[in-house]
Amino acid sequence: MSEDRSEDLRKTPHLSRRILLAAGSAGLTGAALGLAGRAQAQGAPPGPSVPADTGAVQGERVVFPNWRDAGDAPPPPPPAPMPPGERVGFAIVGLGRLSLEEILPAFGEAKKARPVALMSGSPEKARLTARQYGIPDDAVYGYDQWDRLKANPAVKVVYIVTPNGLHRDNVLAAAAAGKHVLCEKPMANSSAEARAMIDACRQAGVKLMIAYRCQYEPFNRAVVRLARSGEFGRVKMIEAFNGQTTALPEQWRLRRALAGGGALPDIGLYCLNGVRALLGEEPVSVQAQIATPENDPRFKEVEESVAFTLRFPSGVIAQCGTSYGVHESRELRVHTTNGAIALHNAFAYRGQRLSIAHREGSHVQRDEPVLTPKNQFALELDHMAECVLKDRQPRTPGEEGLQDMILMEAIYEAARTGATVKVGPLAGTREGLDATRGPALEEGK
């Protein structure tokens, strides 16, 4: 390389490494250098404008071609969040552990939802939380200020995160305020309350979604796809267990008036709803047993452990269990004619791990598909936001919650009587799979 050309390159410090390498191997003409210099002077980024590196705008997102070879999985596309001012505004009602530890932080990963208001019985806590999330002081409400919340046009959806026994009244108030409703599970303390909530939202012309986060979580969705695909044969049996310990007897989850029950409606519901969502069927019968330690102040009003068996029209038997008295365990196992699917930490907030055992020639193959974890709360927030933006029915509407309430009442009856209790589809729903659910979720969302 001549001294003159070397000097030219040294005077162009912002040229990309790729251009410099090209200059050394193929020769870079003065005209090309001039072109690169003019592009930089006009504000263009350094280096060549190659779609593989710069991407391209398609609709409302930037897309890149896959730069990996066939030996690697293609990388996921970059996020495409809506502008903050265009996202659907949520009011969070109840600032307990779940709201502060999981739901409000999840808005940071949401793409279509944003927090715009808070409702709490603790003004000091509410003011602090509002400052932390950029919510104005005049968008903080007490539980008796639904009229003020109604007048806030930024609030499109109210997320009910109060104790179970308060859900009905909160949902009725939100519907009367003309706001769409996302309600935590379990939906209520009884099927009668659940029906009243559905009726109130229908009459008010607002949407009602129950926060079954696992139905939006990627690993749980993968199990549903595998089970229904028939890739490993027909499903024959399912095992689902959700257990943990509890220590403080004064917490609201151990008070029947607020919780409606013990381990069953709180964490056993994940087993019940998870099995139903997996198969898409509704059980035809229920058997159950309850075990509660005597003289334990924690369980004066509610049960500690429940085991229940569901039988489905296809012949599948699901054996489910839940407990407030065991080391944390959240497992889902699907046994098919040609394989076994296991989801570890199935009902946890994070840490899911999928494994599949099946025959491969003359030996048993064990696979562990690697999926991209996603924040379950952000996924359900964005789903509700999208339903509002596009006027769609939620995947987990009020009818989904009502059916679980009816089935939990049957489980309690079966445990009380020792008899098999016959159950069936929710009256008034369509025939076929997923009768209590809204449209299927799009893949990749």
Q: 189 with 245, same domain?
A: no
Query: Of the listed 212, 270, 324, 412, which one is catalytic?
Result: 270
Q: 128 with 150, same domain?
A: yes
Q: Are 112 and 106 in contact (CB under 8 A)?
A: no
**14: its two tokens:** 């912002």
Is 353 inside any structural domain? yes
Angle, to 10 degrees, between the axis of helix 191-204 and the axis of helix 398-417?
170
**444: its two tokens:** 């990749």
Q: 308 with 415, same domain?
A: yes
Q: Over the stretch 109-119, which tens digit does the pLDDT of each residue have? A: 999 999 999 99
Please report the sign of the dihedral spanned by the C-alpha atoms of residue 132, residue 116, residue 386, residue 190.
positive
- What is the pLDDT confidence band of residue 181, given thresholds at 50, 70 and 90? very high
Is 437 inside any structural domain? no
Q: Supply the Cα-derived Rg of the chain in whole angstroms.
A: 27
Among the listed residues 295, 303, 301, 291, the one whose alpha carbon sits nearest the alpha carbon of residue 262: 303
Among the listed residues 170, 171, 167, the one whose alpha carbon sits nearest the alpha carbon of residue 199: 171
Q: 240 with 159, same domain?
A: no
By DSSP bridging, strand 317-323 and strand 235-245 are: parallel
First to last CA, the chain: 53
Q: Identify the bridge partners of residue 372 per DSSP, sorted by sequence position.
A: none
Is 231 inside any structural domain? yes
Least confident of 15-29, 65-79, 339-353: 15-29
Q: Over the stretch 98-107, which tens digit does the pLDDT of each residue have? A: 999 999 999 9
Q: 174 with 310, same domain?
A: no
Please report the sign of the dihedral spanned by the C-alpha atoms of residue 33, residue 37, residue 42, residue 44.
positive
Residue 216: active-site member: no
Average pLDDT over residues 86-94: 98
Q: 29 with 8, same domain?
A: yes
Answer yes or no: is pLDDT of 218 > 50. yes
User: Is the model's pTM score more than 0.95?
Assistant: no
Q: What is the dihedral of CA 94, 96, 102, 105, to 10 degrees?
A: 70
Average pLDDT over residues 381-410: 98
Q: Are 157 and 91 in contact (CB under 8 A)?
A: yes
Is 438 inside any structural domain? no
Average pLDDT over residues 132-157: 98
pLDDT at residue 443, as a whole number: 79
Average pLDDT over residues 84-90: 96
pLDDT at residue 46, as a whole number: 57
Q: 178 with 236, same domain?
A: no
**CA 294, chain centre distance (Å):** 37
Is 302 inside any structural domain? yes
Least confident of 16-25, 178-187, 203-212, 337-346: 16-25
Angle, to 10 degrees, between the axis of helix 269-279 and the axis of helix 218-229?
40
Q: Are 227 and 240 in contact (CB under 8 A)?
A: no
Buried b / exposed e along 165-196 (16+ C-beta atoms within 10 A): bbbbbbbbbbbebebbbbbbbbbbbbbebbbb
Distances (CA, A) of 393 to 48, 54, 179, 187, 209: 46, 38, 15, 17, 8
* φ, ψ (nearest 5 deg) of residue 12: -120, 65
pLDDT at residue 39, as a whole number: 43
Query: Of the listed 112, 156, 179, 185, which one is catalytic?
Result: 185
Q: Are 249 and 188 in contact (CB under 8 A)?
A: no
201 by Cβ neighbours in 10 Å (0-12 / 13-18 / 19+) ranks as buried
Last residue of a domain, one of 184, 211, 238: 211
pLDDT at residue 26, as a whole number: 40
Domain holding 144: CATH number? 3.40.50.720
Nearest-angstrom CA–CA distance, 168 and 149: 18
Average pLDDT of the chain is 91
Is 113 inside any structural domain? yes
218 by Cβ neighbours in 10 Å (0-12 / 13-18 / 19+) ranks as middle
How many domains is the chain partitioned into structurally? 3
Is 76 inside any structural domain? no
**CA 406, chain centre distance (Å):** 23
Q: Sheet with 285-291: list strands edge to edge.
A: 363-367, 353-360, 339-344, 325-336, 235-245, 317-323, 305-311, 285-291, 421-422
Q: 329 with 198, same domain?
A: no
Nearest-angstrom CA–CA distance, 347 and 63: 33
Q: 252 with 365, same domain?
A: yes
Q: Over the stretch 293-334, which tens digit does the pLDDT of each residue have? A: 999 999 999 999 999 999 999 999 999 999 999 999 999 999
Q: 338 with 294, same domain?
A: yes
**37: its two tokens:** 């210099």
- What is the pLDDT confidence band of residue 147, given thresholds at 50, 70 and 90? very high
Angle, to 10 degrees, between the axis of helix 3-10 and the axis of helix 17-26?
170
pLDDT at residue 158, as a whole number: 99
Is 118 inside any structural domain? yes
Residue range(s) defining the domain that contains residue 25: 1-45
pLDDT at residue 91, as a whole number: 99
Q: 219 with 339, same domain?
A: yes
Q: Are 197 and 183 in contact (CB under 8 A)?
A: yes
Q: 147 with 202, same domain?
A: yes
pLDDT at residue 76, as a whole number: 85
Buried b / exposed e along 285-305 (16+ C-beta atoms within 10 A): ebbbebebeeeeebbeebbbb
Q: Which H or E element spans position 305?
A: strand 305-311
Q: Which H or E element spans position 274?
A: helix 269-279
Residue 270: active-site member: yes
